[in-house]
Structure 1
Amino acid sequence: MTLVASRSLTIATRESRLALWQAEHVRALLRQRGHVVELLGMTTLGDQILDRSLSKVGGKGLFVKELELALEQGRADLAVHSLKDVPMELPPGFELAAVLPREDARDAWVSPHCASLAELPRGAVVGTSSLRRVVLLRALLRDLGRDDVRIEPLRGNLDTRLRKLDAGQYHAIVLAAAGLVRLGLEARIRQRFEPEQMLPAAGQGALGIEVLCSRPELLQALQPLAHAPTWAVATAERAVSRTLGGSCSMPLAAYATWAQAPAQEHLPAGGTLHLQAAWGEPEGAAAGQPPLLRASASAWVDSLEAADALGVQVAQQLLRAGARAVGALGVAAQARASGA
């Protein structure tokens, strides 16, 4: 069954400027294919709770629950998400219909006065909302001998975070480069952290489109938007997180790159995929322990299943090295990794 141009589609989206840009981007792609598309702007619980870190109030899934409810109630047909905000296990009845081409996956250093970590004044404050960035920044600061720098929570949408920086609440903040690029704010970036310095989050820089499993006509209509090389990369990265427990708020980084990208945008054209991951204790490593545990592997990937298997392999390496899993899924994986 194929959607016709006269059929109206509604995209559920958060109302932040970045989320609206993402939804508008998907709307433009669908309109190019003859579909009639409207937006349904929504405020999620994650947008409302700004006085506590995400890891303490339910994780980044708080940004998608209201959008999923709109799909269930028939008020919207699809939801557009930053893929790094999407839980590793979707609720029953939902699935990803497409993953779009990835923007810059790196983290960005944003500061009005300091061009890098090394230029921070004594006692400086750096803001971030991510446990992953906390453990990675702490490792970088440790290498610089800068135990005087404080890392403080930073919540709110991208514009809110920039306002807090400009108001002097922080000396610098760390954000995803992709959001700044998409909103035309690339000039605010003082430095991009290379993956060797700060490994990105699973799915960072990619957009995902979520639909109900019971809408096969939507899956067909959205298939041309899917970018298989990015989808495979994101699948491998997300499998690392899912295996360790599935929490978007874990102190975990996972980043995959193609040694040679598939020649086609649709699998099964394959290639060698290299996956790196890092895990750290959010409260700091104990004496004598490394600040970060790292793992990596490469494999020939010509399907999403193969990409997923690579992610599980790297996650098992982290578990054997001492990473702590969370939740029932993670604990089960940890038991398998230890041979229990």
Structure 2
Amino acid sequence: MTCTKVSLRRRPISRGRYSLHLDYYPGIRNPVTMRISRYENLGIYIYQSPKTAIQKEYNQEMLRKAEAIRSIRVQNLINEDYGFLDKHKLKACFLTYFREKALAKNMKSFSAYKHFENFVKGKCTFEEITVPLCQQFQAYLLQANNLKHKSKKLSQNSAAAYYCVFRSILKIAYREKLLHENLNEYLESTEVEDTKKEFLTLDEVKLLADTPCKHPVMKRASLFACLTGLRMSDIIKLDWDEIVMAPDGEYCMRIRTEKTEKETTLPISNEALELCGEREPGLVFKGLTKHMIFVHVPKWVAQSGIKKKITFHCFRHTFATLQIALGTDIYTVSKMLDHKNVTTTQIYANLVNSKKRESANKISLK
């Protein structure tokens, strides 16, 4: 039933006051609870018989506010937006909602949740999620300490990443109609600092391949990352069922990447396939763990004589820079890396100095 009239009413209460409420006629049905609503208490009170100039001014101000709310409700009803009826949603715990969403995603999302939990002192409802609060959280992250190493301040890029996670949660909450407004329209992202991306040259990759490693599965996975550009999280959980024959007769990987949470098909070279070992049920790189990678990759790299500070993620940088240096177009590399935007891949193109020199020499006046 559509409401055709919204009236501002007053009801006498204690201490010589009126309570203001809205009267809907005919009543409107809450699309969630299916109950018919006729009245909405505004929580605004005025004096029945104002005696002083201050009381009269107060009454006028409260009546203006009540009339403003009445006008907004009329617009809501015209637009068939009944969100204002679901006041119980605003009282719900946003912190619990954030935690559930973060747990379903990844550790970065959960770290963002933990920082927000610390910021709001363990309590926050949807009603409290406002633009000023979001901006205060952004400022808080820029001054916050690392969760594990409490004496160490968060890096600018970590603060930016956590705030990005927080804004993505706001977007989901708005889409699920738990927030009445898309707050992201009023929020600015945290600026990201340029960081040095370490990568290996082709000769260094070959050197690493010739260097013995006490963990053969880690060595195979590392070289596999150099040849495919796959992220550590995706390599650890890569299953043999995800390596299949493509229509062209070659093998490919059909996976759902952990970071983007979308399915993608990536070609795999014969050399990369050899690094996978014998096909058998289950994981491709059995026994490979994050702890093994974090602890032993730097030791293995140092043993090879390479002086660079290389982490497992640098193997992904290595794949990208080698592909671009060897002439693969940036759009193809972007697809291989499963980037959402080519501009992200452009960073690797800027790292390849040989390409810059080549392009500079193309213009000649001789």
Give TM-score scaled by structure 1 length.
Answer: 0.25
Structure possessing the higher relative contact order (Cα contacts under 8 Å, 6 or more residues apart): 1
Max radius of gyration: which structure? 2
TM-score computed with the length of structure 2 as normaliser: 0.24
